[in-house]
Amino acid sequence: MSAKLSPIINPDELLNIKDSSELILIDARAGINAQENYQKEHLKGARFVDLNEDLATVENPANGGRHPLPSLEKFSQVLSKLGISPLSRIVIYDDKNGSNAAARFWWMLRAIGHEKVQVLNGGLQAAIQIGFPVSSELETFELTEKYPVTEWKLAQAYIDEVEKARNNDESIVIDVRDKNRFDGLTEPLDLIAGHIPGAINVPFSENLNEDGVYKSAEVLAEKYSKITGNKNPENIIVHCGSGVTACHTLLAMDYAGLAIPKLYVGSWSEWSRNDRELATK
């Protein structure tokens, strides 16, 4: 295995390593009945991670958005609970082409320095289609010792920095929500519809082909290089509604061989609750 893994793994590649002793498969489906759906059927051997309980913390959405990051201590405990150690090779999937929580967990693992982590291209459906075994059995595994977590090593942006960046020609703020939400035509999750003034809309769905798998690294590299120009990655901020689907685009850019820009975890859910300037098209 090469030292640098692609952040994307295809279903046939996963099938080839399914019996590897170092592989840990993670089901990151989210939303209503996610855990119940996991219990009914999941890829054999997969362990379930809960977006709200494991990958975020419960706070006031005005302070960090709807899915703020958990403390480093809590995240360390989550990894131990999942049986993950620094030596584990982790593959994560969901049922929304990586946008549910698979990419979020990928970003969090990369952000603590874990390199051997990939997201399953096409997700649950693609793996089942090629014959990956499924199960409804309770998965048993050993917990691991406390995972050493010291800091979030990938760059984040916070609300005041976003305020400055949106008015700065040297910076770019990318909103990955769908166009109707960006334009303020609909808002299914947050209190106010619209977008951060000065942000541009690049829906995360554009990272995918019609069959729900990521476009090639070359296509994505060309796309995002044109969007970001020659801007310093430190001046590129990506956000969504609550810092989850934004990670889908961060994953796409890493897959394309580009530097991972800053994640604004609070995203629209925080911005829209803080008496900041709002825009609709």
Is residue 233 within 8 Å of residue 260, measured between CB atoms?
yes
> Residue 110 in contact with residue 261, Cβ under 8 Å?
no
Contact 24, 90 (CB under 8 A): yes
How many whole angstroms separate alpha carbon 192 and alpha carbon 205? 22
Whole-angstrom Cα Rg for the chain = 18
Which among 68, 155, 74, 152 has a CA at the least distance from the CA of 114? 152
> If you search the block for the tokens 């969090």, which residue do you land on?
108
- Bridge-partner residues for 262, per DSSP? 237
**Cβ count near 277 (within 10 Å):** 12
123 DSSP 8-state letter: H
Q: Is 240 a catalytic residue?
A: yes
Task: Indicate which residue of 56, 127, 240, 247 is catalytic.
Answer: 240
Instruction: Give the up-direction half-sphere exposure of residue 131: CA atoms within 13 A in the CB hemisphere.
Output: 4
- CB distance 227 to 200 below 8 Å: yes
Token pair 């990939």: residue: 118
Known catalytic residues? 240
